[in-house]
Structure 1
Amino acid sequence: MSKAKSLNKNNVIPNELYAEKDVKRGLRNANGTGVVVGLTKVGEVVGYELDEQGNKIAVDGKLYYRGYNIDDIFHDCVRCNRFGFEEVTYLLLFGELPTKQELKEFTEMLGSKRELPKGFARDMILTAPSKSIMNKLARSVLALYSYDDNPDDTSIENVLRQSISLIGYFPALIAYGYQAKRSSFDNESLHLHNPIPELSTAENILRMLRPTGEYTDIEAKLLDLSLILHAEHGGGNNSSFTTHLVSSSGTDTYSAIAAAVGSLKGPKHGGANIAVINMINDLKAHVSDITNEAEVEDYLVKLLRGEANDGSGLIYGLGHAIYTISDPRAVLLKEMAQKLAISKGLEDDYNLCRFIEKRGGMLYSELKGTDKPMPANVDLYSGFVYSALNIPIDIATPLFATARLSGWCAHRLEELTAGKKLMRPAYRGVQPYLDYVQICDR
């Protein structure tokens, strides 16, 4: 448009003004740490310590759900060979670990909410498909407001009811949104499977995504573990902060969660796992032998020079805003990814991820002169897992949303209980005052 250039010019703010006005751009302090804007009991992310001068000290990453180390939760599920996402959801919502009976009752309650309201799939999903499953997911969440007899009540009891319903519905929402997209835009056959209340969240997702509805136990268990690792990441990540922010206005649950979905849709947040998958696909298209480390390294060098993939100069799947030495989610998922690789004959693909993790950080230092640690983040191995499970790339971020919904709902309940104050940060006006010119004189 002819006005685009002037629009851009009129919105430019010189960088030096941010420093002059002491503005924390991106809500980040000068040392890269986040500006503290709230307190939470839901989750804690530990990626560094601060010395007396406020400098970061790199440490092994840790992640806590309601005070429990995710490492302990993860390994207990592996050791007992059981599904754990429902238990983690209970923990996040209620703040305590369930007894066997409490977990049984809660799982049955979620199961009773697997099937969407009558007519919803036809009227709200199949008749109005979207090329973006995340867009369809946000619209579906907002539409559920109309199917709720008491949508605007923000009492804890009512919001808890709405939260459990949404957590139960999400597998069907993403699966049907994907099937509608395939049918309407990709000219593929439409496969709709009803959810089964007795199955876990992970099992229902695989059953409803796949044309035959078939899956193996290791596939479902690994997806379950991935959901556990994505369920919560503190109150400061963009989508959870969005949940706090929007909830502080007193709006309804559907509006708050739809806003969080919109946040996660952004490529700088939830879309990062797709970026890893696209990067790996581009690597395979330009490297003749992925087991040849010299060839792979040449490609990684081109990535960092902006000569490959999307030209961003980034190796996706490395580095994190908080974690310094290690991302605990990547460490844990890497363990299970190896088992999946062996079961599916994908050892070469798995070893490719390991080489990117090992050599990529060194290349950042050598080529870009940065001393910032660049550990593998969860997206590197979740991208591998989703590919190995034959999960369509369209579903990668919606799966993230399905997992993180448990954390969002927990943060919404916390904001309504403990926050109780409209968030109202300040923006300083820097536009010079002008004399108004009448339209006849312009």
Structure 2
Amino acid sequence: MTVTKGLEGIVATTSSISSIIDDTLTYVGYDIDDLAENATFEEVIYLLWHRRLPNKEELKELTAQLAENMDVPKEVLDHFKTFPIQSVHPMAALRSAISNLGLYDAEADVMDKEANYKKAIRLQAQISTIVTAFARIRKGLEPVSPKKDLSFAANFLYMLSGKDPSAIEEEAFNKALVLHADHELNASTFTARVCVATLSDVYSGITAAIGALKGPLHGGANEAVMKMLTEIGSVENVESYVKNKLDNKEKIMGFGHRVYRNGDPRAKHLRAMSEKLTKLTGQSQYYEMSVKIEELVTSQKPLPPNVDFYSASVYHSLGIDHDLFTPIFAVSRTSGWLAHILEQYDNNRLIRPRAEYTGPGMQKYVPVDER
């Protein structure tokens, strides 16, 4: 057997959902640059699930279905109040809530195609409500019910703050959702597919994916980037901070990506949005620090920034708590996870790789008194 650490370069399945070829990311053949500039998140959800963009009626129907299914069972939200609310990380709360959500779905274990699609609608709609409700409950605030006439992106920001977002805020958040929606066979997507390949249910698949996304080497990177920017404090401190990190061979979060040689194609969209939003909110120092860090790091190492690097200052400028950055990633990536879960069900085979054994050779049992 040939062993490849981290399964790097191993092709584990076929998929018609997204591709990364020559540093170009596509969703069903549509370049991410095209979608980031033009598409709504609702269009991207439809594209990932149906492998084509919707017409007006289909988009209207999906938008209505998402809006109608955003309400979450009261029992799920009340469960948050039993958590150690001031210390629990939102990703841990989200992981538990999605698992809990399955208990209140009468079709949770119904595995036909129609039932699974309905569950996909409910999960995509409700994860947004769960994240925003937790964010408010831990501050002693009541959850805000969604508005039926708002877009998915606008509804999230509305449920988080209780205020209708501005056009630029909605645009920025929609763009972030589009950019994070899918990314081929990343760690959390692979986890979801492994889980449901056993014919486990959709809720189990999404819960497993959230568990994988929680790690700082995957979804947690943008939260770590914002922590870094906060620690640095000002542009004047960037050079010494970066030099110290590089001299000590410490990782600087938000740089490099295993599947891209010349840079993450998503990063430039959030860089432009970071510049615009930080200026608008009077927090240009975060964009300026980010640019300076990028210049210093890329001059020393061939590691361009990835999508996490500039998403940190974008989310901060939207007034979002830093530990909510990864749950927001999950809100978006749920669309991709669900696409892959449904695809796995359609052409399923149990995913069961092998491991090369490196332990001792054949041994003989010795009774405990003789050891």
TM-score (norm 2): 0.94
Which residue of 2 is the match for residue 58 of structure 1?
none
Q: How does 1:31-430 map to 2 (within 5 A)?
A: 34-46=9-21, 48=22, 61-77=23-39, 84-122=40-78, 124-128=79-83, 130=85, 131-180=88-137, 182=138, 188-210=139-161, 212-234=162-184, 236-284=185-233, 289-290=234-235, 292=236, 295-306=237-248, 313-364=250-301, 373-418=302-347, 420-430=348-358
Q: Secondary structure at the match of 2:125?
A: helix
Q: Distance in 2 between matches of 1:127 and 1:173?
A: 15
Give the aligned residue type for 1:254.
Y
Q: Is the 8 A contact 1:125 1:176 kept in 2?
A: no
Q: Is the 8 A contact 1:263 1:269 kept in 2?
A: yes
Give the aligned residue type for 1:155.
D
Q: Work out the percentage of aligned pairs sharing the same amino acid.
A: 36
Give the aligned residue type for 2:363.
L
Q: Is the 8 A contact 1:175 1:209 kept in 2?
A: yes
Instruction: Provide closer, same or farther for how the CA distance between residues 410 and 119 of structure 1 changes in structure 2, counting only shifts above 3 A.
Output: same
Q: Secondary structure at the match of 1:150?
A: coil
Q: Is the 8 A contact 1:116 1:172 kept in 2?
A: yes
Which residue of 2 is the match for residue 368 of structure 1?
none
Q: Distance in 2 between matches of 1:74 and 1:324?
A: 21
Q: Secondary structure at the match of 1:135?
A: helix
Q: Note the alpha carbon deviations across 1:201-225, whole angstroms, 9 max, x for none.
A: 2222222222x43532211220111
Q: Is the 8 A contact 1:114 1:197 kept in 2?
A: no
Which residue of 2 is the match for residue 54 of structure 1?
none
Q: Distance in 2 between matches of 1:120 and 1:355?
A: 44
Which residue of 1 is the match for residue 4 of structure 2?
24
Instruction: Give the drift of 1:315.
Output: 1.8
Q: Distance in 2 between matches of 1:118 and 1:255?
A: 21
Q: Is the 8 A contact 1:178 1:394 kept in 2?
A: no
Instruction: Give the drift of 1:23.
Output: 1.3
Instruction: Give the drift of 1:111.
Output: 0.4
Deviates more, 1:168-177 or 1:430-439: 430-439
Instruction: Give the drift of 1:109.
Output: 0.5
Instruction: Give the drift of 1:118.
Output: 4.4
Q: Distance in 2 between matches of 1:266 and 1:204?
A: 27
Give the aligned residue type for 1:38.
T
Aligned residue pairs total: 368
Q: Distance in 2 between matches of 1:405 and 1:129?
A: 26
Q: Distance in 2 between matches of 1:404 and 1:417?
A: 20
Give the aligned residue type for 1:144.
L
User: Which is greater in Rg?
Assistant: 1
Moved over 6 A (4+): none
Q: Secondary structure at the match of 2:266?
A: helix
Q: Distance in 1 between matches of 2:256 and 2:310?
A: 13
